[in-house]
């Protein structure tokens, strides 16, 4: 029996991308939770939400992640976003992955799959990844 995919609204879809990014390596720590919350709450769609509603949104996406994996989550989210939202979601996901200055093999796999799923032009995806790498370089 094939699983039925439940559609997402734009706010859910946009939040799903960075959430999948921080969960793709099977870890979701307190620091990542804090950063993703801060990043999302800077955007008007989430800033206008009551804290309880925002918590329900994230809890629901985490439940979907556990049921569908990051692949299922981004497959459901990508079609709900316009091209500008897709680029911003990709950039936010890349920033979250790069912010600890270590990109693991599962995180690299995630970014490649995400760029294909959204779909971003390869040169645009590389440009975004290069900027995230530069911003998070340690000296």
pLDDT tier at 5, thresholds 50, 70, 90: low
Residue with tokens 């569908």: 68
**CATH number for the domain formed by residue range(s) 10-135:** 1.10.3680
What does pTM read for this prediction? Answer: 0.88
Average pLDDT over residues 22-29: 81
Q: Provide the residue count of the chain.
A: 139
Write the Ramachandran bin of 40: left for phi over 0, alpha for psi from -120 to 50, otherwise beta: alpha
Please tell me the distance from the alpha carbon of residue 19 to that of residue 104, in angstroms, as a whole number. 16
Please tell me the distance from the alpha carbon of residue 112 to that of residue 125, in angstroms, as a whole number. 9
List the chain domain ranges. 10-135
Average pLDDT over residues 91-119: 90
Q: Give pLDDT tens digits for 65-90.
A: 999 999 999 999 999 999 999 999 99
Average pLDDT over residues 11-16: 96
């Amino acid at each position: 029996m094939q699983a039925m995919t439940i559609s997402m609204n734009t706010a859910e879809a946009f939040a799903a991308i960075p959430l999948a990014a921080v969960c793709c390596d099977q870890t979701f720590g307190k620091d990542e939770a804090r950063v993703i919350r801060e990043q999302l709450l800077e955007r008007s769609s989430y800033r206008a939400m009551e804290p309880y509603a925002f918590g329900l949104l994230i809890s629901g996406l985490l439940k979907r992640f556990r049921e569908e994996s990051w692949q299922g989550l981004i497959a459901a989210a990508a079609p709900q976003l316009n091209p500008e939202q897709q680029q911003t979601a990709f950039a936010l996901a890349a920033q979250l992955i790069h912010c600890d200055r270590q990109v693991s093999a599962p995180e690299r796999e995630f970014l490649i799959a995400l760029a294909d799923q959204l779909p971003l032009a390869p040169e645009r995806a590389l440009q975004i990844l290069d900027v995230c790498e530069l911003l998070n370089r340690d000296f």
